[in-house]
A and B are shown apart, each in its own frame.
Chain A
Amino acid sequence: MADHKHYGMVIDLRRCVGCHACTVACRMENSVPDDCFRSWVMEADKGSYPNVTRVKLPRLCNQCQDAPCVAVCPVKATYRDVEGGGVIKVDSAKCIGCRYCIASCPYNARYLHPVKGIADKCDLCLDRINAGLIPACVSTCVSHARFFGDFNDPDSEVSRLIREHEVQTLRPELRTRPSVYYIGLAESLANVNQSSLTGRR
């Protein structure tokens, strides 16, 4: 077993019902300001009537092992908390609010806190984890679609899930090595013509 923990998440898209309870729990737990999101669920309709299926894609910071946000930070305010399971954190005393990390995040997982003037993002509720709890979004998920754990522990539930299921990550071509894995992502987005994406507010 590795010396340090490697916290991450597995999200089973086959179970997600799109209730957005994770979004609400995250906002309450972390006092996320209005119009900003640490965690949210994108929803889309795939296909044409009558053959339509609803695709749900929960989104959050991917806690990349090769995180672009860490590399670009000019003041080393964004860092990997090695003792804290490798979670990417923002040092609120150091951040100057230059937004370079926000521009460099390929997952749009960061935002500038409108009051504090610093970058903010999901830290997997590290305070809860250190207190022996699990992240708020995992705790509240009504369909048990979210799983949290230590990937360095082969006996953990998340390790078992990525061993037993075919998992995918978002934007693997960027080689950021996310710590958030999806079960069923390939099926959800199978046969989708990306150039014909249409949307409404």
Chain B
Amino acid sequence: MNLTVVYDVQHIMPFGPLVILYLFLAGLSAGLFLLSALGEVWCWKPMRHLSIPAGIMALATIIPGGLSLLLDLGQPLRAIHLFLSFSPLSVMSWGSYILLIYSIIAVVFVWLAWRNDPRKKVWGKAGVVASLALGMYTGVLIAVAPGHPLWNSAVIPVLFLVSGLVAALSLINMAQVLQPRHFPVLDANEGGLHSLKVALVVLELVLIAVHLVILGLLGSTGSEIVSHLLTGGRQFSFLGIQIVLGTVFPLFILLFAHASQLAVGAAGFLSLMGVMALRYNIVVAGQELPVQGVLPHLMEADRLIWIYMGLLLIMAVLLMHFIPVLMERICRLPHAGDSDVEEGI
């Protein structure tokens, strides 16, 4: 028997564009830190010459990421309350400490790595734990919100971590095209990074596929959400942008046109867009379908939020340039390893 809703209340999605931006930047930062630590702490050869710039980019992305979270609060000046009380059952409470500790470790690690201080290895290892926590807690945060089948899965935190690593490798690929002086392409080392990225993109696709198959087979609201993503209102942003343009197409470039650095850089840009679309689709589609009734929840339509987002992204790019300059001025010591990073990446 059909039920036609004739009157219902339309709600605003609680998590809007600034939260999506935070999830993207936090994942990207965690991924960059992990890659940086691979080179700086464990001396993984493909990342060795890129580890300091990657660390600087990790720092440059987490600052606007944290700010976007702050701007999203209804009462930004009360953010300090997060650190004055601890609620062990709240993932957000854990997350605020993870974000704080990660940011402190990232600052210290980049500083020590810049000065080639041997203590960088200890801080790097601590940072790996913090960045793994940062990369995954955002997924846990939404996964434990009841009544959202798209979110309520253990796949989500892993997917966020994997896609964060994909975004980090993509940004490095882009930087190798845009800033070749600071992100040199060493042919002998590129194979490792390339293989890692291909493996991670494939893993990302597998995780998405598994999640959707399970949701679809669960029936009820789960299959409704799968339909919403594949054939409904989210079809363009999910299938078109996230999957085809942001994941499959870059994967083809990586597999069949990896000899061209320009093509790999373009694939990096598309992958970054794909990871942003992944965060967008999961957050928005997870809230869009109402728990009761039929009216989809609306995204907050405040123009100021989009201006904030643009400014924060510009801030991330500017920080990537100014952090090295600032550090050089503070320490007044030339970096022992790579002179390229001294003038900004």
- Name A's B-contacting residues (CB within 8 A): 35, 37, 40-48, 55, 57, 59, 68, 71-77, 94-100, 102-108, 111-113, 116-119, 170-171, 174, 176, 189, 191-201
Q: How many of B's residues come within 8 Å of A, CB to CB?
A: 49
Interface string of B288-319 (1 = CB under 8 A from A): 00111111000000000000000000000000
Q: Bound state CA distance, A198 and B1, in angstroms?
A: 12
Q: Is there contact, CB below 8 Å, between A117 and B75?
A: yes
B contact residues around A196 at 8 Å (CB): 2-3
Q: Is there contact, CB below 8 Å, between B6 and A45?
A: yes
Interface string of B1-14 (1 = CB under 8 A from A): 11111111111101
- Quick one: closest A residue to B78, CB to CB? A96
CB distance from A101 to the nearest CB of B (A): 8
B224 lies within 8 A of chain A by Cβ: yes
Q: Is there contact, CB below 8 Å, between B5 and A72?
A: no
Interface of B, helix, strand, loop or mixed by DSSP = loop
Q: Bound state CA distance, A200 and B82, in angstroms?
A: 41
B contact residues around A71 at 8 Å (CB): 89-90
Contact of B8 among A42, A112, A195 (CB under 8 A): A42
If A96-B82, A118-B74 touch, does A72 touch B6 (CB 8 Å cutoff)? no
Q: Is there contact, CB below 8 Å, between A201 and B81?
A: no
Q: Is there contact, CB below 8 Å, between A73 and B90?
A: yes
B window 56-96: CB within 8 A of A = 72-75, 78-79, 81-82, 84-85, 87, 89-93, 95-96
Contact of A44 among B5, B73, B147 (CB under 8 A): B5
Q: Bound state CA distance, A192 and B1, in angstroms?
A: 5
Q: Bound state CA distance, A96 and B87, in angstroms?
A: 14
Contact of B287 among A41, A76, A103, A116 (CB under 8 A): A103
B contact residues around A107 at 8 Å (CB): 291-292
